[in-house]
């Protein structure tokens, strides 16, 4: 019986050893098959290049063919990945570190079309009338079909005070529009603050540069004693630095995940969380968003929405939730590659979906219908003053405050912005319920 037990154990060990050997053999075979497949694919690639080099109607060098192949490969990965030639790489370095002449717009690919994410406030593009959602059909006389974002940016950038013509397709317009723009030096103020009344602080963030969180915090602290509600305007904000988006949310949220980043490898995964020490206010909030709100703007608005910290008003955002890095492949060339995607605290993605507002309000004005025959007390007083001047020959000495302070948003201004007016009304309700 004992011998039988040992025989059974021996058989089990032998079976296990055989299974391990088979698994190891299969693993080695799979690895060999993968390596053979890679070599076969590379051989096919080399063969095609050789045939094209030899028989193409136009004489093309091997270097040119490799560049074209790399360019095509990167373009087909996603809308934001691309191959940077020596010229492209140098241009990118100038863009991120130097001063240049440009239009002042952020563009992206949406449904395969070169689309204006947003014009930046006060820039030539903004003054010329370009709008979020405009599809760029031509840059001067060159079609943008099949053009990469970097190629488009390089065409639009140029010497200050030089002109450029942009042909766009705009929703609601029967035919394409030709917009003439003169390039300028692009300098951006990222944070603007105003008061809507004595207790509502309006904060507009136009882009996420390295000072956004600090400047917003300073504005809140300045008005903290009288502020009962905040309106954060992220409309037409194309994004920027991730750490500033995280820092901005941290001003309003005590704890929990702000945004997470997930890629193919574990090393690409990161979680950014709020800290109670950074939080400076808990007053009710409304965030304004639209189709020009992208990337970092979507992280901020989506995180505040998931934490139920703010009510989102406006329109669905752009939908750019991917992470790109520039990886040099030589001293003068590089690739820009998407390595991860952003996820909001609830786990939902931004990419190609965007952030939906809690209250949808389209852009527009509030039409007022005043009775032209009505006489108000103020009108009557002004009329009587003028009549007195005719008799006395003197102007009234009563002081009138006709100047509107630049840091105040008046009711008349609100009537010209339906989304902002709606945000103010919703914020009033939030303050009352709190």
Contacts of 233 (CB under 8 A, 6+ apart): 202, 203, 204, 205, 287, 288, 420
Q: Is 81 a catalytic residue?
A: no
* The one catalytic residue among 207, 295, 301, 422: 295
* The one catalytic residue among 110, 131, 320, 336: 320
- The enclosing H or E element of 34 equals helix 2-55
List phi, psi (to 5°) of 252.
-115, -15
Q: Is 421 a catalytic residue?
A: no
Query: How many Å separate Cα 353 from the centre of its chain?
Result: 13
Cα 202 from Cα 220, distance rounded (Å): 10
Share of the chain above pLDDT 90, in %: 59
Cβ-in-10-Å burial (0-12, 13-18, 19+) of 358 comes to middle
Q: Where are the domains of the chain?
A: 84-185, 191-360
pLDDT per residue over 133-188, tens digit each? 899 999 999 999 988 888 898 899 888 899 999 999 998 899 999 999 999 987 77
* The one catalytic residue among 88, 233, 250, 306: 306
Domain 84-185 has CATH 2.30.42.10: yes
The model scores a pTM over 0.75: no
Which letter does DSSP use for residue 208 in this model?
B
- Comparing CA positions, the residue from 366, 361, 380 lying closest to residue 415 is 366
Q: What average pLDDT does the structure give for the chain?
A: 85
pLDDT per residue over 386-418, tens digit each? 555 555 555 544 444 444 455 789 888 898 899
Contacts of 236 (CB under 8 A, 6+ apart): 117, 118, 119, 120, 121, 132, 206, 290, 292, 293
Position 102 pLDDT exceeds 70: yes
Q: Is 320 a catalytic residue?
A: yes
CATH number of 191-360: 3.90.226.10
Position 431 pLDDT exceeds 90: yes
Cα 178 from Cα 146, distance rounded (Å): 20
70 against 2, higher pLDDT: 70
pLDDT confidence of 18, banded at 50, 70, 90? low
């Amino acid at each position: 019986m004992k011998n039988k037990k040992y025989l059974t154990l021996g058989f089990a060990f032998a079976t296990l050893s055989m299974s391990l050997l088979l698994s190891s053999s299969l693993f080695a075979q799979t690895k060999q098959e993968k390596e053979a497949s890679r070599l076969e694919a590379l051989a096919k690639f080399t063969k095609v290049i050789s045939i094209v080099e030899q028989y193409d109607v136009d004489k093309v060098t091997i270097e040119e063919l490799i560049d074209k192949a790399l360019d095509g490969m990167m373009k087909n990965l996603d809308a934001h990945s691309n191959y940077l030639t020596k010229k492209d790489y140098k241009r990118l370095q100038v863009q991120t570190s130097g001063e240049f002449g440009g239009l002042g717009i952020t563009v992206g690919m949406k449904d395969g079309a070169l689309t204006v994410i947003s014009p930046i406030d006060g820039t030539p593009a903004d003054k010329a009338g370009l709008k979020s959602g405009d599809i760029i059909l031509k840059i001067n006389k060159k079609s943008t079909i099949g053009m990469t974002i970097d190629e488009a940016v390089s065409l639009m950038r140029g010497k200050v005070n030089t002109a450029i013509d942009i042909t766009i397709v705009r929703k609601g317009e029967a035919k394409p529009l030709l917009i003439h723009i003169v390039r300028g030096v692009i300098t951006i103020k990222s944070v603007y603050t105003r008061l809507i009344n004595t207790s509502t602080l309006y904060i507009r963030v136009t882009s996420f540069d390295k000072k956004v969180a600090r400047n917003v915090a300073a504005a809140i602290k300045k008005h903290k004693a009288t502020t009962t509600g905040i309106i954060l305007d992220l409309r037409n904000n194309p994004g920027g630095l991730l750490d500033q988006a995280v820092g901005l949310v941290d001003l309003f949220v005590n704890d929990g995940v702000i945004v997470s980043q997930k890629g193919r490898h574990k090393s690409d995964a990161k979680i950014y969380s709020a800290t109670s020490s950074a939080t400076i206010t808990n007053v009710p909030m409304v965030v304004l968003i639209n189709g020009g709100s992208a990337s970092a703007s979507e992280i901020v608005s989506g995180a505040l929405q998931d934490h139920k910290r703010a009510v989102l008003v406006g329109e669905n955002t752009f939908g750019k939730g991917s992470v790109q890095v520039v990886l040099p492949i030589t001293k003068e060339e590089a690739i820009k590659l998407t390595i991860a995607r952003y996820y909001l605290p609830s786990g939902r993605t931004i990419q190609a979906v965007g952030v939906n507002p809690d209250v949808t309000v389209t852009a527009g004005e509030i039409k007022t219908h005043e009775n032209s025959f009505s006489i108000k007390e103020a009108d009557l007083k002004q009329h009587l003053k003028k009549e007195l001047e005719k008799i006395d020959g003197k102007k009234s000495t009563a002081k009138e405050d006709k100047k509107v302070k630049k840091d105040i948003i008046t009711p008349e201004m609100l009537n010209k912005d339906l989304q902002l007016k709606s945000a103010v009304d919703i914020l009033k309700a939030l303050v009352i319920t709190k």
